[in-house]
Amino acid sequence: MDLSSIESWVFDLDNTLYPPEEKIFDQIDRKMTSFISEHLKIDKNEAFNIQKNYFLEYGTTLAGLMHDRENNVDPDEFLKFVHDIELQSLNSDPELRNTILGLPGTKFIFTNGTTAHAESVLKKLELENIFESIFDIRAANYIPKPNLEAYNLFIKSTNINPHSSIMFEDMGRNLPPAKSLGMTTVLIKRNIPNSRNVLQEKKYANLWSQDVDADYIIDDLVKFLNNR
Ligand SMILES: [Mg+2]
Protein backbone atom coordinates (compact mmCIF):
# COMPACT_ATOMS: atom_id res chain seq x y z
CA MET A 1 0.00 0.00 0.00
CA ASP A 2 1.20 3.52 -0.69
CA LEU A 3 -0.03 6.23 1.62
CA SER A 4 2.86 8.57 0.88
CA SER A 5 0.56 11.21 -0.60
CA ILE A 6 -1.58 11.40 2.54
CA GLU A 7 -1.40 14.76 4.32
CA SER A 8 -4.52 14.59 6.51
CA TRP A 9 -5.49 11.69 8.77
CA VAL A 10 -9.14 11.70 9.81
CA PHE A 11 -10.31 9.48 12.65
CA ASP A 12 -13.75 8.65 13.90
CA LEU A 13 -13.73 8.45 17.71
CA ASP A 14 -15.99 5.83 19.30
CA ASN A 15 -15.15 2.20 18.54
CA THR A 16 -12.39 3.41 16.21
CA LEU A 17 -9.71 4.73 18.58
CA TYR A 18 -10.69 2.13 21.18
CA PRO A 19 -12.43 -1.24 20.77
CA PRO A 20 -16.13 -1.80 21.48
CA GLU A 21 -15.17 -4.27 24.21
CA GLU A 22 -14.55 -1.24 26.42
CA LYS A 23 -18.33 -0.84 26.59
CA ILE A 24 -18.19 2.91 26.19
CA PHE A 25 -20.55 3.26 23.29
CA ASP A 26 -22.65 0.53 24.85
CA GLN A 27 -23.33 2.89 27.77
CA ILE A 28 -24.21 5.75 25.42
CA ASP A 29 -26.56 3.38 23.61
CA ARG A 30 -28.38 2.58 26.86
CA LYS A 31 -28.55 6.23 27.89
CA MET A 32 -30.23 7.01 24.57
CA THR A 33 -32.88 4.39 25.27
CA SER A 34 -33.45 5.87 28.75
CA PHE A 35 -33.70 9.40 27.39
CA ILE A 36 -36.30 8.45 24.79
CA SER A 37 -38.24 6.36 27.27
CA GLU A 38 -38.38 9.21 29.79
CA HIS A 39 -38.86 12.01 27.30
CA LEU A 40 -41.63 10.34 25.29
CA LYS A 41 -43.05 8.50 28.31
CA ILE A 42 -42.92 5.08 26.69
CA ASP A 43 -41.45 1.78 27.82
CA LYS A 44 -37.84 0.85 27.11
CA ASN A 45 -38.64 -1.68 24.37
CA GLU A 46 -40.61 0.85 22.39
CA ALA A 47 -37.95 3.47 23.05
CA PHE A 48 -35.24 1.12 21.80
CA ASN A 49 -37.07 0.48 18.54
CA ILE A 50 -37.60 4.20 17.96
CA GLN A 51 -33.92 4.79 18.76
CA LYS A 52 -32.69 2.24 16.23
CA ASN A 53 -35.15 3.21 13.52
CA TYR A 54 -34.02 6.83 13.80
CA PHE A 55 -30.41 5.68 13.73
CA LEU A 56 -30.97 3.68 10.56
CA GLU A 57 -32.97 6.36 8.80
CA TYR A 58 -31.24 9.58 9.85
CA GLY A 59 -27.64 8.62 10.69
CA THR A 60 -28.01 9.17 14.42
CA THR A 61 -30.81 8.75 16.91
CA LEU A 62 -30.59 12.47 17.68
CA ALA A 63 -31.04 13.45 14.04
CA GLY A 64 -34.27 11.43 13.97
CA LEU A 65 -35.47 12.89 17.25
CA MET A 66 -34.85 16.39 15.87
CA HIS A 67 -36.47 15.60 12.53
CA ASP A 68 -39.79 14.71 14.13
CA ARG A 69 -40.51 18.04 15.72
CA GLU A 70 -43.39 16.82 17.84
CA ASN A 71 -40.73 15.05 19.94
CA ASN A 72 -39.69 18.51 21.11
CA VAL A 73 -36.15 17.43 21.90
CA ASP A 74 -33.45 19.89 22.92
CA PRO A 75 -30.34 18.48 21.19
CA ASP A 76 -27.95 19.81 23.81
CA GLU A 77 -29.99 18.31 26.63
CA PHE A 78 -29.95 14.96 24.79
CA LEU A 79 -26.21 15.10 24.10
CA LYS A 80 -25.37 16.00 27.68
CA PHE A 81 -27.54 13.19 29.03
CA VAL A 82 -26.25 10.42 26.75
CA HIS A 83 -22.57 11.29 27.16
CA ASP A 84 -22.78 11.23 30.96
CA ILE A 85 -21.05 7.83 31.23
CA GLU A 86 -18.24 6.03 33.03
CA LEU A 87 -14.91 5.98 31.23
CA GLN A 88 -12.86 4.11 33.82
CA SER A 89 -12.52 1.00 31.61
CA LEU A 90 -10.49 3.03 29.11
CA ASN A 91 -6.74 2.79 29.54
CA SER A 92 -3.94 4.81 28.01
CA ASP A 93 -2.77 3.49 24.68
CA PRO A 94 0.89 4.53 24.29
CA GLU A 95 1.34 2.38 21.20
CA LEU A 96 -1.50 4.13 19.42
CA ARG A 97 -0.24 7.50 20.65
CA ASN A 98 3.25 6.93 19.26
CA THR A 99 1.90 5.55 16.02
CA ILE A 100 -0.42 8.48 15.37
CA LEU A 101 2.26 10.97 16.45
CA GLY A 102 4.59 9.42 13.88
CA LEU A 103 2.21 9.97 10.97
CA PRO A 104 3.37 12.70 8.63
CA GLY A 105 0.74 15.40 8.31
CA THR A 106 -2.22 16.65 10.28
CA LYS A 107 -4.62 14.53 12.32
CA PHE A 108 -8.29 15.23 12.95
CA ILE A 109 -11.23 13.76 14.85
CA PHE A 110 -14.55 13.61 12.97
CA THR A 111 -17.26 12.35 15.33
CA ASN A 112 -21.04 12.20 15.57
CA GLY A 113 -20.60 12.78 19.32
CA THR A 114 -19.67 15.93 21.21
CA THR A 115 -16.32 17.63 21.68
CA ALA A 116 -16.67 17.27 25.46
CA HIS A 117 -17.08 13.49 25.11
CA ALA A 118 -14.21 13.28 22.62
CA GLU A 119 -11.92 15.26 24.94
CA SER A 120 -12.77 12.98 27.89
CA VAL A 121 -12.07 9.86 25.83
CA LEU A 122 -8.83 11.24 24.38
CA LYS A 123 -7.70 12.16 27.88
CA LYS A 124 -8.32 8.62 29.17
CA LEU A 125 -6.48 7.12 26.19
CA GLU A 126 -3.70 9.70 26.62
CA LEU A 127 -4.15 10.81 23.05
CA GLU A 128 -4.30 14.49 23.92
CA ASN A 129 -2.43 17.14 21.95
CA ILE A 130 -2.16 14.94 18.88
CA PHE A 131 -5.15 16.11 16.91
CA GLU A 132 -5.35 19.44 15.17
CA SER A 133 -9.08 19.72 15.89
CA ILE A 134 -12.21 17.84 16.85
CA PHE A 135 -15.10 18.25 14.44
CA ASP A 136 -18.20 17.27 16.41
CA ILE A 137 -21.94 17.04 15.91
CA ARG A 138 -22.49 20.68 16.92
CA ALA A 139 -19.87 21.89 14.44
CA ALA A 140 -21.83 19.87 11.85
CA ASN A 141 -25.04 21.73 12.74
CA TYR A 142 -26.33 18.41 14.17
CA ILE A 143 -26.12 16.83 10.71
CA PRO A 144 -24.42 13.46 11.29
CA LYS A 145 -22.34 11.15 9.18
CA PRO A 146 -23.28 9.50 6.78
CA ASN A 147 -25.06 12.60 5.42
CA LEU A 148 -22.83 14.08 2.73
CA GLU A 149 -23.45 17.57 4.11
CA ALA A 150 -21.55 16.66 7.30
CA TYR A 151 -18.45 15.76 5.26
CA ASN A 152 -18.63 18.97 3.27
CA LEU A 153 -18.87 20.96 6.50
CA PHE A 154 -15.94 19.00 7.92
CA ILE A 155 -13.79 19.67 4.84
CA LYS A 156 -14.72 23.36 4.87
CA SER A 157 -13.98 23.68 8.58
CA THR A 158 -10.62 21.88 8.49
CA ASN A 159 -9.60 23.10 5.03
CA ILE A 160 -8.24 19.66 4.15
CA ASN A 161 -7.81 18.44 0.60
CA PRO A 162 -9.96 15.27 0.48
CA HIS A 163 -7.75 13.83 -2.28
CA SER A 164 -4.78 13.70 0.08
CA SER A 165 -6.82 12.60 3.12
CA ILE A 166 -7.60 9.25 4.63
CA MET A 167 -10.54 8.44 6.88
CA PHE A 168 -10.79 5.69 9.51
CA GLU A 169 -14.18 4.37 10.64
CA ASP A 170 -15.69 1.39 12.39
CA MET A 171 -19.06 1.92 10.73
CA GLY A 172 -19.14 0.90 7.10
CA ARG A 173 -21.94 3.17 6.01
CA ASN A 174 -19.93 6.26 7.02
CA LEU A 175 -17.21 5.64 4.43
CA PRO A 176 -18.85 5.85 0.96
CA PRO A 177 -19.60 9.59 1.33
CA ALA A 178 -15.92 10.22 2.18
CA LYS A 179 -14.89 8.12 -0.80
CA SER A 180 -17.23 10.04 -3.10
CA LEU A 181 -15.42 13.25 -2.13
CA GLY A 182 -12.03 11.77 -2.99
CA MET A 183 -10.80 10.52 0.38
CA THR A 184 -9.02 7.22 0.90
CA THR A 185 -11.11 5.06 3.25
CA VAL A 186 -10.33 2.47 5.91
CA LEU A 187 -12.90 0.30 7.64
CA ILE A 188 -11.84 -1.08 11.01
CA LYS A 189 -13.78 -4.27 11.52
CA ARG A 190 -14.88 -4.55 15.09
CA ASN A 191 -16.77 -7.26 16.89
CA ILE A 192 -19.71 -5.52 18.44
CA PRO A 193 -20.72 -7.23 21.69
CA ASN A 194 -24.22 -8.52 21.42
CA SER A 195 -25.23 -7.77 24.99
CA ARG A 196 -28.66 -6.45 24.07
CA ASN A 197 -29.36 -9.04 21.38
CA VAL A 198 -29.50 -6.18 18.93
CA LEU A 199 -27.83 -8.20 16.23
CA GLN A 200 -30.53 -10.83 16.35
CA GLU A 201 -32.73 -8.27 14.69
CA LYS A 202 -31.98 -8.74 11.04
CA LYS A 203 -32.34 -5.10 10.10
CA TYR A 204 -29.47 -4.13 12.44
CA ALA A 205 -27.21 -7.05 11.58
CA ASN A 206 -25.13 -5.48 8.84
CA LEU A 207 -24.65 -2.00 10.23
CA TRP A 208 -21.03 -2.51 11.17
CA SER A 209 -19.99 -5.56 9.22
CA GLN A 210 -21.58 -4.60 5.94
CA ASP A 211 -19.43 -4.98 2.88
CA VAL A 212 -18.56 -1.50 1.83
CA ASP A 213 -16.43 -0.15 -0.91
CA ALA A 214 -13.59 0.81 1.46
CA ASP A 215 -10.04 1.03 0.14
CA TYR A 216 -8.78 -0.97 3.09
CA ILE A 217 -10.58 -3.26 5.50
CA ILE A 218 -8.48 -3.90 8.59
CA ASP A 219 -8.76 -5.31 12.09
CA ASP A 220 -5.75 -3.66 13.73
CA LEU A 221 -5.30 0.10 13.48
CA VAL A 222 -1.77 0.27 14.94
CA LYS A 223 -0.54 -2.56 12.74
CA PHE A 224 -2.02 -0.96 9.64
CA LEU A 225 -0.50 2.44 10.37
CA ASN A 226 2.91 0.98 11.17
CA ASN A 227 2.97 -1.11 7.98
CA ARG A 228 1.93 1.67 5.65
MG1 LIG B 1 -17.55 4.91 15.54
Q: Is the pLDDT of residue 26 over 60?
A: yes
CA of 16 to the centre of ligand 1 (A): 5
For residues 183-198, average pLDDT? 74
CA of 110 to the centre of ligand 1 (A): 10
Q: Is the pLDDT of residue 173 over 60?
A: yes
The CATH class of the 8-20+89-226 domain is alpha beta
Q: 84: Cβ–Cβ under 8 A, 6 or more apart, which residues?
A: 31
CA of 139 to the centre of ligand 1 (A): 17
Q: What is the mean pLDDT of the chain?
A: 91
Give the whole-angstrom CA distance, residue 30 versus residue 192: 15
Reported as a single tens digit per residue, the pLDDT across 51-86 is 999 998 998 999 999 999 888 999 999 999 999 999
The pLDDT assigned to 2 comes to: 84
The pTM assigned to this predicted structure is 0.91
- Reading phi first (left if > 0) and then psi (alpha if -120 to 50, else beta), residue 197 is in left
CA of 128 to the centre of ligand 1 (A): 18
Reported as a single tens digit per residue, the pLDDT across 117-169 is 999 999 999 999 999 999 999 999 999 999 999 999 999 999 999 999 999 99
Every domain of the chain and the residues it spans = 8-20+89-226, 25-82
Q: How confident is the model at residue 25 (pLDDT cuts 50, 70, 90)?
A: confident
Domain 25-82 CATH (choose: 2.60.40, 1.10.150, 1.10.3470, 1.10.490): 1.10.150
CA of 188 to the centre of ligand 1 (A): 9
CA of 17 to the centre of ligand 1 (A): 8
Q: How confident is the model at residue 174 (pLDDT cuts 50, 70, 90)?
A: very high
